Chains A and B, each alone.
Chain A
Amino acid sequence: MPRFLHLADVHLGFDRYDSKERTQDFTMRSTMPWKSMRSPLKLILF
């Protein structure tokens, strides 16, 4: 007896709610798990 979830039209990355200012409900800040792993890097110019 298969059980499953059917979804559609997630539209990740959509400018929601007719608002150009509001782009996403989820930002890098809320979804970036490796943020804490980042360390400042020195920029070396050649």
Chain B
Amino acid sequence: MEKYAIAPQVDFVLIAGDLFEHRTIQPATLNQAQLALQALKEAGIPVLAIEGNHDNRPYGTKTSWLRYLASWGLLILLEPGDTAAGEPFYFPWDGERGGYIDLECGVRVLGSYWYGSTAPKAIEQISEAIAQLPPTPYPNILMFHHGMEGQISRYQGALRYADVAPLKAAGVNYLALGHIHKNYEVEGWIFNPGSTEANSVEEAGFDRGVYSVEISRGQVRAELKQDYQQRSIVRLKLTLRGTESLEEVELGAIAQVQTAITQGKIDPTAQPIVELRIDGQVGFDRLELDIRKLQQPLQEMSNALIFLLKYQADAIAYASHLAEDASRIQIEQEVFMDLVVAHNTYKKRAPELAQGLIALKDLQMEGRSELEMYNFVQTLLHNDPSS
């Protein structure tokens, strides 16, 4: 705000939805918003906002934190009127409520709600309502919280260009979008800056920022600004082949982080977010790797604000082919063989240990004591002919 709004003395600021993560917010969160908005107010820069899907007013209620901020004069919340109650869809901002505002700098800004899946229908209604407004010689800006199709995967209900085209026909020069956390621009009049920060490591690869915009003689010049403090996010991956010992896996993880630091990918002074995903296969019981213990040195090395250690490796599983007429003894033998072969430490002695496990099972069936079975296992494990 200081760098891209107050210092260059812009005429106004748009917040196109989801200022807050939740409808119900903590005092510190409200305080943070108030401080930023107060600074803009003192600089004489009006802030115009709409609700998003995260901070919208629940159906049937009249209050929200955005309305609270508006009532204290910290922002102008542009909301269409209640047509069911006889209000026009768009009426001018009267200092407390309104769906649009004509600013002295020479622009008309219109608001909207969060419409969810009914957004295409709402756009038709908005287009018609814009056409019925008193004419203006100024450019029209519409704030709308919804995403366009083709920008991110796994997003149901995205708007097609044909859905928003009626807005252009109705005279919208700049469609100020929010919702998708990735920057994109469509056809020189639809602009989505992306979220101000990555909200998850999955969003780390997205471009994002804030748009600094000038509209001159109907021509839009929007420049994405990204030179502000954004938390550094580094994603690393360690793929295991299943041949590594437990110690080798731990050392491999440490080496992976050390290499990233040496190569400058991780800057410990920036207190980054670091994700290390361990995938592939492990040749031991996967629970033997103590993730919590391993995380500590990795976090200390990288000086990460958060170190996300994601352990997604599977234990190697073998399944030997068994004849259809295999006996119970043969089936047991193969099952124990497959289990032992999958473990790096024991696989060299697999046939002997598999026999030992069958014998252990027999001891159990005979009702032998736990001490007796314990001694049997001790003898079996320590009777290693190779050592």
Q: Which residues of A contact B (CB under 8 A)?
A: 1-19, 21-22, 24-28, 31-33
Contacts and interface: CB of A to CB of B under 8 A. Distances in A.
Contact of B13 (A7, A12, A25, A33): A7
B152 interface: no
A42 to B, nearest CB: 23
Contacts of A33: 35
B159 interface: no
Contacts of A13: 20-22, 25-26, 28-29
Contacts of B198: 16-17
Nearest to B308: A18
A43 B22 CA distance: 33
B15 A8 contact: yes
17 contacts: A1-B106, A2-B12, A2-B103, A5-B5, A8-B176, A8-B194, A9-B179, A10-B18, A11-B195, A12-B19, A12-B20, A12-B33, A16-B200, A17-B198, A18-B308, A32-B28, A33-B35
B213 A31 contact: no
Contact of B195 (A6, A8, A15, A28): A8
A17 to B, nearest CB: 5
A17 B216 contact: no
Contacts of A32: 28, 31
B177 A8 contact: yes
B305 A22 contact: yes
A34 to B, nearest CB: 9
Contacts of B17: 8-9
B350 to A, nearest CB: 40
B302 to A, nearest CB: 14
A28 B27 contact: yes
B122 interface: no
Nearest to B107: A2
A7 B15 CA distance: 5
B212 interface: yes
Contacts of B8: 3
Given A4-B11, A28-B27, 5 more contacts: A2-B138, A5-B1, A9-B17, A12-B33, A31-B35
Give me the 7 closest cross-chain CB pairs, A-B, nearest first. Answer: A8-B178, A13-B29, A9-B195, A14-B21, A8-B16, A6-B211, A7-B210
B99 interface: no
B335 to A, nearest CB: 38
Interface residues of B, number: 65
Contact of B28 (A1, A19, A27): A27
A14 B25 contact: no
A2 B11 contact: yes
Given A1-B215, A9-B18, A17 B233 contact: yes
Contacts of A27: 28
A32 B29 CA distance: 10
Contacts of A24: 28-29
A5 B31 contact: no
A14 B199 contact: yes
Contact of B193 (A1, A2, A6): A6
Nearest to B217: A1
A5 B29 contact: no
Which among B1, B32, B222, B306 has the greatest number of chain A C-beta atoms within 10 A?
Answer: B32
B308 A17 contact: yes
Nearest to A32: B31
Which among B25, B107, B138, B197 has the greatest number of chain A C-beta atoms within 10 A?
Answer: B197
A12 to B, nearest CB: 5
B170 interface: no
A24 B4 CA distance: 23
B308 A19 contact: yes
Which among A5, A7, A8 has the greatest number of chain B C-beta atoms within 10 A?
Answer: A8
A4 B181 CA distance: 20
Contacts of A26: 28, 32
B41 interface: no
Nearest to B24: A13
